[in-house]
Amino acid sequence: MDNPYAPPREEPFPMPAFPPSYSDSLFAEACADLGIDMHSVPNARNSEPYQGRSECVGYGTCQPVCPSGAKYDATVHVEQAEREGATVIDRAPVQRLDHGPDTVEAAVYATPDGETHRQEADAFVVACGGVETPRLLLLSDSEHYPDGLANSSGLVGRYFMDHLFAGTGGVLDEPTRQNHVGFLTSESHQFYDDADREVGPFKLEFFNYAGPSPVESALSGDDWGDTLLEELREAYGNHVAVGALVEQLPREDSYVALDPDRTDDHDNPVPDVHWSVGERALRTIERANEIQEAILEELGAEITWQVGPDSTGPAYHHMGTTRMGTDPEASVVNPRLQTHDLANCWLVGSSVFPTGGAMNPTLTIAALALRAAAHVDETLS
C-alpha cells in the first residue's frame, strides 16, 4: 500500500494496485511541484485473475457494464451464496416486517405475479441502503411501534447524509488518453486530516474519465460513419479533471420520511428525502476547488468547467438514517448492528454510519457486513 495517509491494515489487499494511468503521470509532475502527494486507490475490479474471474482488460465501459467480469457487482456473492445452499428470491420487494414487541416474525414480500408471501425466520437482516432501509422500518409501524419499527428513539430516517462533489476540469494541448479506464487509479488523501471547525475533510480524485466518452457518444448520438468519427476526433482526447468528495456533517433536519402524497406500484408511500447542506461543507468545496485550480494551472490546462459551492450535488452515497450507538435513546442499532428494540433484527449498510467522512463508504459497508454476519452466526449457534 503506497498511501501514507491510510489507516493501518492487518492484512494487505487481496490483489496488487492498478498502475497509474497515463493521465496520472501528467498530474504527478504538477502535484510534485506543488507538494501534493498522489497514491493508488482501491478499486472494486480485478487487477489480476481472481476467484475464477478475469482481470480488467481495459474495455473502458465500466459504467454501466464490464464485459470481462472483472468489475465486482452483487451477483458475485449472490452466486456464491447459492452455491452454499442459499435460496435467492429476486424482483420481490419486501412490503413490511411483521413483528411482536421484541422480535421480527416475518418478512412480507410481493412477487411480479402480484402475489404476496410471508417468510418467517429466526433472524432478519435488513440491507436496503440509506433510503430504503428507513423506509421499510417506517412502513412496518404497528401498535407496538406506532412511529415505525425499531424507532423507539425517533431517529429512524434522521441524520441523512451524502457526500458532496467538488470538481474542476479543462483541456490540454496534448493527448490525455481519458476514458480508457472507467475508474480512478490515483487519489490524494493529504488534506483529509487538516479538517477543523471551519473546513471539513475531503479527498482528491484524479479522473480517468474526463470529457466525452467515445463509447457513450457513439451509442447516444444520431450520427454514424465518417461524420461520427470526425465528431469523436474533435471532442475526445485532451480533457483532464480533478474531483473531490467532501464531508457533510450529520444534521437532524436532513432526513428520510414517507411521502404523504405519492405511492409506488404497491400503494406504499415512496421515500420523502430532505437534504440540508451546512456552511462548513460549502467552505470545504471552496478549499477543494482552490487546490484543483492550482493543479490544473500548474499542468498548463485551460480550465473550462467547475463544480463549486453553488453547483454541487450529491455523490449518491446515502448514509446515516439508522445510526449506530450505545445509547438506545440516541441511536437505532448497537455496535453489533443489532437494533436496540428487536433482538433478532440487524441493519447492515451505510445507514448505520453516525458520521459520513469523505471517503467512499464501500469498504466500511463490507467490514460492517462481516461484523454483523459474525454476530448473527453467534446468535443462531
Give pLDDT tens digits for 43-75: 999 999 999 999 999 887 787 889 999 999 989
How far apart are the C-alpha atoms of 352 and 69, rounded to whole Å?
30
Per-residue pLDDT tens digits of the chain, which is 381 residues long: 689 999 898 899 999 999 999 999 999 999 999 999 999 999 999 999 999 999 999 887 787 889 999 999 989 999 999 999 999 999 999 999 999 999 999 999 999 998 999 999 999 999 999 999 999 999 999 999 999 999 999 999 999 999 999 999 999 999 888 887 778 999 999 999 999 999 999 999 999 988 876 666 666 777 788 887 777 666 678 999 999 999 999 999 999 999 999 999 999 999 999 999 999 999 999 999 999 999 999 999 999 999 999 999 999 999 999 999 999 999 999 999 999 999 999 999 999 999 999 999 999 999 999 999 999 999 998
CB half-sphere exposure, 182, CA atoms < 13 A: 21
pLDDT value of position 65: 85
User: All 3 cell numbers of residue 242?
Assistant: 480533478
Q: Domain 89-161+316-381 belongs to what topology? A: FAD/NAD(P)-binding domain (3.50.50)
Residues 240, 168: contact at Cβ < 8 Å? no
Give the per-residue pLDDT at 34. 98
Look up residue 95 and give its three cell numbers: 412490503
Sign of CA dihedral 49, 50, 56, 61: positive
C-alpha to C-alpha distance for 203 and 287, rounded to whole angstroms:
11
- Judged by DSSP in three states, 282 sits in helix
Closest residue by Cα to residue 353 from 317, 315, 313? 317
Specify whether 317 is catalytic: yes
Q: What is the pLDDT of residue 235?
A: 66
* Alpha carbons 152 and 170: distance in angstroms, whole number: 51
**Which residue ranges make up each domain of the chain?**
21-87+163-315, 89-161+316-381
Q: Residue 287: which of 380, 194, 161, 179 has the closest Cα? A: 194
Q: Scan for cell 501534493, then name that residue.
A: 36
The size of the chain, in residues, is 381
DSSP string, 164-186: EEEEEEEE-SS---TTSSSS--E
Q: Which helix (H) or strand (E) holds 125?
A: strand 124-126
The Cα 305–Cα 53 span in angstroms is 38
- For 361, the grid coordinates are 463508504
pLDDT reported for residue 103? 97
Spatial separation of the C-alpha atoms in residues 9 and 265, rounded to whole Å: 45
The rounded distance, in Å, linking the Cα atoms of 352 and 311 is 28
CATH number attached to the domain at 21-87+163-315: 3.30.560
Q: What would the DSSP string read from start to end of 57-113? A: ---S-TTT--TTS-B--THHHHHHHHHTT-----S--EEEEEE-SSSEEEEEEE-TT
Helix (H) or strand (E) holding 286: helix 279-299
Distance CA 218, CA 223 (A): 8
Q: Which CA distances in Å does 358 have to 70, 166, 187, 380?
A: 26, 12, 13, 36
Which of the following is catalytic: 317, 318, 340, 375? Answer: 317
Q: What pLDDT, on a 0 to 100 scale, did the predictor assign at position 36?
A: 98
Q: DSSP string spanning 357-378?
A: -SS-SHHHHHHHHHHHHHHHHH
Which residues, in sequence order, are CB contacts of 347 under 8 Å at separation 6+?
125, 126, 127, 133, 150, 322, 332, 333, 337, 339
DSSP label at 333? Answer: B
Strand partners, 107: 97, 119
